């Protein structure tokens, strides 16, 4: 009898889930974000044995990129890449891009150049299978609480970029930013580019505001533009030039971000006929 009541309660709860999903925006938001994280965890489990054949190697980022590229379709996110011709061919460079949310992974995987690895907070290493996949992909981890150590890791990265022909992707805001603008940029990425004497390639991911908002618990289908801006050379620059370079790149990115936000902002529906 107890089993029957339990089973009936479970069946009722399962029947109610679609209704709740249909009626509650917040429930839908949490389901979608839960599925996003769960799906990436599952993809990481698939990636691990494939990547393990090579060991820790930047070439494994191709496997991770390939496995991630369908995820946008699951969410109805249409992505357009502009300015891909700006990627310098056959040379190392530092990519810098804005960082709004963990959804940035989708934009990153849309344009990630070959032999390019992100710099990530070290906490990612402890996310189970995701951490293992990131390690196998050659992702560079920094401890944000230890500035001196983070700078040493970046200095080592400058060497690796040149000796092993590697490109590096940095989020110079240093953290996710949902404000609809850009935080001040930290200078690590620009020191890295100047130390290695390689160009900086700015990439702007358009605002998610019209289809995704963590604060409002809103996540619908939508459109996202990833704009690659012209590279800035650093040849001949030294440490004293880093602040001006940082500000120049941020100004260019902010201008492009605002232009994209204006372009993609949904136009108000026409007034209803009287
Ligand atoms: C198949 C499925 C598998 C799924 C796998 C999916 C994988 C995808 C993974 C994607 C990961 C994305 C993760 C994104 C993140 O984790 S973002 C967070 C981490 N990233 C950053 O923080 C990068 C940006 N931060 C910096 O550049 C900082 O400057 C940093 C180097 C970290 C140091 O930060 P902080 O401690 O806050 O110090 P300051 O920035 O204030 O710097 C202090 C002074 O040092 C100078 N400086 C900085 N860097 C250098 C350097 N490299 N060399 C020399 N000097 C440096 C800096 O200019 C400051 O001095 P001044 O004030 O300018 O005098
Ligand atoms: C054994 C432990 C198991 C833990 C399992 C955790 C499961 C998590 C599963 C999938 C996570 C997928 C998300 C990948 C990471 C996205 C990158 C990202 O956006 O990192 C945030 C970082 O840029 C800035 O961090 P903060 O904004 O400063 O914070």
Using H for helix, E for strand and C for coil, what is the string for 120-154? EEHHHHHCCHHHHHHHHCCCEEECCCCHHHHHHHH
For the chain, percent of residues with pLDDT exceeding 90: 86
Interface predicted TM-score (ipTM): 0.95
Gap between the Cα atoms of 50 and 138, Å rounded: 14
Is the minimum distance from the CB of 176 to ligand 2 under 6 angstroms? yes
Of residues 20 and 80, more confidence is placed in: 80
List pLDDT tens digits, range 24-46: 889 999 999 999 999 999 999 99
Nearest CA to ligand 1 atom 3: 44
Which residue among 142, 174, 175, 214 has the greatest number of ligand 2 atoms within 8 angstroms of its CB, and so is best to mutate?
175
Of residues 163 and 180, more confidence is placed in: 163
pLDDT at 271 (0 to 100): 60
Cβ pair 81, 226 in contact under 8 A:
yes
List pLDDT tens digits, range 41-56: 999 999 999 999 999 9
List pLDDT tens digits, range 194-223: 999 999 999 999 999 999 999 999 999 999
Distance 150 CA to ligand 1 centre (A): 7
Q: Hey, what domains does the chain have and what are their CATH numbers?
A: 25-264 (3.40.1130)
Is the minimum distance from the CB of 182 to ligand 1 under 6 angstroms? no
pLDDT value at 141 more than 80? yes
| pTM of the shown model | 0.94
Mean local confidence (pLDDT), 243-257? 98
SS3 232: strand
Is the minimum distance from the CB of 186 to ligand 1 under 6 angstroms? yes
Cβ pair 153, 141 in contact under 8 A:
yes
Gap between the Cα atoms of 44 and 176, Å rounded: 22
pLDDT value at 274 more than 90? no
SS3 18: helix
User: In sequence order, which residues have a C-beta less than 8 Å from that of residue 72 and are 6 or more positions away?
Assistant: 78, 79, 106, 110
Residue keyed to tokens 């990630």: 112
For the chain, percent of residues with pLDDT exceeding 70: 96
């Amino acid at each position: 009898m107890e089993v029957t009541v339990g089973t009936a309660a479970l069946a009722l709860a399962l029947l109610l889930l679609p209704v709740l999903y249909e009626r509650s925006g917040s429930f839908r938001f949490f389901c979608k974000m839960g599925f996003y994280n769960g799906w990436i965890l599952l993809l990481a489990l698939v990636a691990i044995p494939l990547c393990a054949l090579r060991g820790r190697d930047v070439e494994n980022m191709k496997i991770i990129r390939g496995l991630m590229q369908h995820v946008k379709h699951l969410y109805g996110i249409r992505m357009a890449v502009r300015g891909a011709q700006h990627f310098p061919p056959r040379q190392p460079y530092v990519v810098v891009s804005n960082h709004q949310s963990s959804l940035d992974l989708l934009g990153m995987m849309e344009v990630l150049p070959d032999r390019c690895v992100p710099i990530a907070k070290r906490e990612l290493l402890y996310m189970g299978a995701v951490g293992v996949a990131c390690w196998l992909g050659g992702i560079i981890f920094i401890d944000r609480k230890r500035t001196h150590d983070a700078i040493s890791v970046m200095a080592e990265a400058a060497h690796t970029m040149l000796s092993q022909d590697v490109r590096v992707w940095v989020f110079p805001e240093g953290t996710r930013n949902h404000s609809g603008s850009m935080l001040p940029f930290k200078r690590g990425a620009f020191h890295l580019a100047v130390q290695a004497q390689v160009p900086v390639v700015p990439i702007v991911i358009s605002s998610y505001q019209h289809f995704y908002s963590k604060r409002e618990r809103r996540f619908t289908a939508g459109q996202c533009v990833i704009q690659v801006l012209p590279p800035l050379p650093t040849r001949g620059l030294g440490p004293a030039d880093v602040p001006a370079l940082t500000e120049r790149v941020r100004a260019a990115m902010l201008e492009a971000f605002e232009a994209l936000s204006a372009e993609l902002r949904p136009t108000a529906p026409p007034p209803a006929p009287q």
